[in-house]
Amino acid sequence: MIKTKRLELVRFDNKYAKDLFELWSDYEVIKYTYMPQLKSIDECSEKIEMFINYTDDEVVNNFIILLDGKAIGIVGSPIIDKNKAVFGLYYQLMKKYWGKGYISEAVEAFINYIRGKFPNAEFNAEVVCENPASETILRKIGFSKVGIEKNGFTLNKFTLDIVKFIG
């Protein structure tokens, strides 16, 4: 578990399925991700199991963000190359908590946690151009823009450019 001033980051667990269903059934939250909009708690439980199965027990690279015991989002990193300490970065937050600094707080704590295990860790993040709020978060926590991939994101018959960041 990771604690911040206002939040806790905990391992994925099905006891948070109801809260995460609220997150993952909201189109506004998931529209720029490859995660499908979930239709049931059962689908949510399957996604949670997927995150549990993709969690590296040595690193613990996937977390649920809690505020006063309620799951309000997720943060984590696909491991790109563990030997070279290269990680991806993702985060999602319930819409009603946007604009309050929670995601920046959670992402900073998560990155500090990973860097505690891998001091030279490098993080790669991608944001669709139509999501300037996510770009702002990355810049706020010290990431630098390294390029744009034209037509890098395709979902449901629409294609968008991706801004690539490194931190």
Q: What does the pLDDT look like over 41-71, one tens digit per residue?
A: 999 999 999 888 888 777 788 999 999 999 9
C-alpha dist (Å) from residue 160 to 25, 85, 126, 146, 166: 22, 29, 12, 17, 20
Check residue 54 and give its pLDDT.
82
Domains present along the chain, CATH in parentheses: 2-166 (3.40.630.30)
Separation CA 15–CA 35 (nearest Å): 20
Candidates 62, 65, 24, 66; CA nearest to 43 is 24
Mean model confidence pLDDT for the chain: 93
User: Would you place residue 122 in the very low, low, confident or very high pLDDT band (cuts 50, 70, 90)?
Assistant: very high
Q: Can you tell me the mean pLDDT for 72-97? A: 95
Cβ(85)–Cβ(121) below 8 Å: yes
pLDDT at 109 over 90: yes
pLDDT at 33 over 80: yes
Higher-confidence position of 18 and 157: 18
Check residue 15 and give its pLDDT.
97
Q: Can you tell me the mean pLDDT for 85-113? A: 96
Cβ-proximal residues to 136 (8 Å cutoff; 6+ apart), any chain: none
Question: ∠110-93-130 over CA atoms, to 5°?
Answer: 105
pLDDT at 157 over 90: no
Cβ(103)–Cβ(73) below 8 Å: yes
Tokens of 43: 């689908």
Candidates 75, 48, 80; CA nearest to 134 is 75
**Exposed/middle/buried for 147, CB within 10 Å: 0-12, 13-18, 19+?**
exposed
Check residue 58 and give its pLDDT.
77
Give pLDDT tens digits for 124-133.
999 999 899 9
Residue 23 one-letter amino acid: L
DSSP output for 50-119: HHHHT--TTT--EEEEEETTEEEEEEE--EEETTTTEEE-EEEE-GGGTTSSHHHHHHHHHHHHHHHH-T
User: Would you place residue 167 in the very low, low, confident or very high pLDDT band (cuts 50, 70, 90)?
Assistant: very high
